[in-house]
Structure 1
Amino acid sequence: MKIAYFDCFSGASGDMILGALIDAGLSARRLREELEKLRIPGVQLKVKRVLKGGIAATRVSVEGRSERHHRHLDELLKIIDRSRIEPEVKEKSREIFEKIASVEGEIHQKPAGEIHFHEIGGLDSIVDIVGSVWGVSQMGIDEIHVSKVNVGGGFVQCEHGTLPVPAPATLALMKGKPLYSSGVERELLTPTGAALLTSLASHFGPMPVMRVERVGYGAGRDDLPHPNLLRLMIGTSQGEPERERVTIIETNIDDMNPQFYDFLMERLFEMEVREVFLTPILMKKSRPATLLTVICRPEKLSSVTRFLIRETTTLGLRWREEERSCAEREMVNLQTRYGKIRFKLAQWEGKVVNLSPEYEDCRKLALERKVPLKDVYEEAKRVAIIVKKEYEKALPQRPR
């Protein structure tokens, strides 16, 4: 499994996250092409190499002109909705903006729709958020871990006046996460940075055991006594199976066309939920119904709930949080006498526990070769037994 670790020894901001992704290998050219789909005239993404504390890094900034000093949440969401960016990136970006506006609204006693965003009329926030969400997806990162975060100290000037660091919105967004201050008098963690980290990451704490393959440094704007950088490490998980906290969303449906479930499941998987399944149940007065269950990361609760209320006939949902452990999985292509087949390779505590062929590949070969599907599947199982033994020999032995 490909994982990423954000080392926040100098906090984090939207531009630092983007810079770290680019420094770790994300194509700046492709990022600009994707951001052009937002159709924001006059706004440019500037990328340059800099030195911070003697360490080479990538500095990202958003430049341009805007006739507006600020934009409200609804205006920014309209820009995202009318854009041509990928649907899952749209959904995640909306979720992050709504999260920021929600905490700002609570703090300043305003409806979320009245919260406004600054910095080139809030357009830099769109670039940072949409660009980071798209970048993580493009890098193929399955899971994100974040260190304890240095928030800085002192005070920061904003439209509301002089606020303590961390800013109230930043602190609200980071509830339950490990924070500290090195004593430097500067705002190191911004609300946008906090919203991105808490929305994209599933773990906060020590660095996981991993085989590091790429390292990127995103540069902050200011020069500080320490290197003002956000370090990103990307690699493959090598540690013990970790527990993952997930949200279980359920609803009973007894009055919807059952043909709709295929569409619902397809859309939910596009939203990157962990699992969707249907269970036949009997409700009161022995009415037959369907229990729709969705397993997703906790931060997807609001977007999945909104989707189910909009797309199904349900009048309400229930949810709970649980923990689960999963084997490490990857797809491998193996040659059989009928052709290549993709296999799902699962490992647990460093040992191969399963190597199963993909049904669709077996079905396709059976149709192409005009042979029974069971013959293709038996051949796949034969190859799996041989390859599994080879994998077990090649894997390093775990210390006792």
Structure 2
Amino acid sequence: MRIACFDCFSGISGDMILGALLHAGVDPQAWRAALDQLQVPGYDIAISTVKKQGISAVSVEVKLHEADTGHGRHLSDIAEILERSQLPEKVRHRALAVFTRLANAEAKIHATTPEAIHFHEVGAVDAIVDIVGACIGLEMLGVEKVYCSPLPYNSGWVECAHGQMPVPAPATLELLSGFTLRFDPRNEELITPTGAAILAEFVERDAQGHVLGFPPLRLLNVGYGAGRRDTEQPNLLRLCLAEELTPADLERAGHTL
């Protein structure tokens, strides 16, 4: 079974996920062609190879033709964009599920309903591309299960549509229910709402909703997605593409669980 394991040593964001998927083997031309079926105008995608502390990675940047703040875009608007697209049903379903998680998290924080939520930053074109692009990339790689490492929990402040918010942003933290968190001393946003929502939708969980750690696996390929900031530590997301091993596989290899 093909699995994707996200090693989030420097956090996670939508664009870092896209870069890691492309670096791990997603064909850029086929991926762009699939995104074109979204039929959302007004943007270009810049894909480049960069280095962070000497480690080669892929950077993905969505460049808007005009500023798009996303004000006034609701969950129903996102659903309409996805429904009228030519994307496969599975991709549309998973992308809408990610946005629904975002709406539910925001609604809980602001004591309102998901339908009343204005998506602000996460409703902008670049976030739509990040979320749909991630769903497309995972599908192209044939990924059946997703796992992630413990996530960094730190402090600081981030500017958003509602003003300054503590890091992690309240909606981000709401999305991380069930995840294992580890303290990180860095004073900057390491996990974005988009990155958290994508993980929350895809990761494997136990019966209690706790996010599972990496299983025994056979490594197939590794991809690195670059964050935009240059930091003291490599601002990268590592994706391990692998085959999940069964007890029978381990027994044949001379190991037991």
**TM-score using structure 1 length:** 0.59
Q: Which residue of 2 aligns with 1:106?
A: 108
Query: SS state of the match for residue 4, structure 1?
Result: strand
Alignment gaps of 5+ in structure 1: 241-347, 352-394
SS in 1 for 2:231: coil
Residue pair 2:222, 2:239 contacting (<8 A) in 1 also: yes
Measured in 1, the distance between the counterparts of 2:122 and 2:216 equals: 41
Counterpart-to-counterpart distance in 2, 1:166 and 1:4: 24
Structure 2 residue matching 1:44: 3-state secondary structure? strand
Give the superposition deviation at 1:209: 2.2
C-alpha distance in 2, partners of 1:171/1:30?
Answer: 34
Are 2:72 and 1:215 equivalent residues in the alignment? no
1:43 aligns with 2:43: yes
State the one-letter code of the partner of 2:45. L
Q: Distance in 2 between matches of 1:92 and 1:121?
A: 16
* Partner Cα distance (2:102, 2:256) in 1: 45
Which letter maps to 2:253? P
Cα offset, 1:194, TM superposition: 0.7
Q: Which residue of 2 aligns with 1:74?
A: 76
Q: 1:398 to 1:68 in 2, by over 3 A?
A: closer
List aligned pairs for 1:260-275, cutoff 5 A.
none
Deviations 1:202-261 (A, max 9, x none): 054543322211000001111111101000001112364xxxxxxxxxxxxxxxxxxxxx
Aligned counterparts, 1:249-398, within 5 A: 348=248, 350=250, 395-398=252-255
Displacement of 1:28 after TM fit?
1.1
Which moves more between the two structures, 8-17 or 112-121? Answer: 112-121
Distance 2:24 2:234 in 1: 18
Highest CA radius of gyration, 1 or 2? 1
Letter in 2 for 1:51: K
How far 1:91 moved relative to its partner?
0.9
SS across alignment from 1:60: strand
Describe the shift of the 1:67–1:141 C-alpha distance in structure 2 as closer, same or farther (beyond 3 A).
Answer: closer
SS of the aligned residue for 1:233 comes to: strand
Higher relative CO (Cα under 8 Å, sequence separation at least 6) belongs to 2
Q: 1:193 aligns with which of 192, 195, 201?
A: 195
Contact preservation (8 Å) 1:66, 1:121: no
**Amino acid corresponding to residue 31 of structure 2 in structure 1:** L
Deviations 1:136-176, CA, capped at 9 Å, x for gaps: 11101121111001144211111111111111101111112
Q: Where does residue 208 of structure 2 map in the other structure?
A: none
Give me the whole-angstrom Cα distance separating, in 2, the residues matched to 1:151 and 1:42.
Answer: 35
Which of residues 85, 88, 91 is equivalent to 1:89? 91
Q: Tell me the residue number matched to 1:138.
A: 140
Residues 170 and 145 (structure 1), Cα distance of their counterparts in 2 relative to 1, 3 Å cut: same
Residues 122, 205 of structure 1: alpha-carbon distance in 2 compared, 3 angstrom cutoff: same
CA RMSD of aligned residues (A): 2.0
TM-score, normalised via structure 2 length: 0.90
- CA distance in 2 between counterparts of 1:165 and 1:65 reads 30
Give the deviation of 1:75 after TM superposition: 1.6
CA contact (8 A) 2:155 2:166 kept: yes
CA contact (8 A) 2:120 2:161 kept: no
Q: 2-side partners of 1:7 and 1:16: how far apart? A: 11
For the 8 Å contact 1:145–1:205, the answer to whether it is kept is yes
Aligned length: 250
Equivalent-residue separation in structure 1 for 2:122 and 2:256 (angstroms): 55
2:237 aligns to what SS in structure 1?
A: strand
In the alignment, which residue of structure 2 is the partner of 1:237?
Answer: 244
Q: 1:136 to 1:68 in 2, by over 3 A?
A: closer
Contact 1:26-1:139 at 8 Å conserved across structures:
yes
Q: State the alpha-carbon separation in 1 of the partners of residues 198 and 123 from structure 2.
A: 19
Deviations 1:21-60 (A, max 9, x none): 0000101111110110111112122111111122111111
- The one-letter amino acid paired with 1:132 is A
Could you tell me which amino acid in structure 2 is paired with residue 149 of structure 1?
A: L
Structure 2 CA distance for aligned equivalents of residues 67 and 22 of structure 1? 26
Deviations 1:266-288 (A, max 9, x none): xxxxxxxxxxxxxxxxxxxxxxx
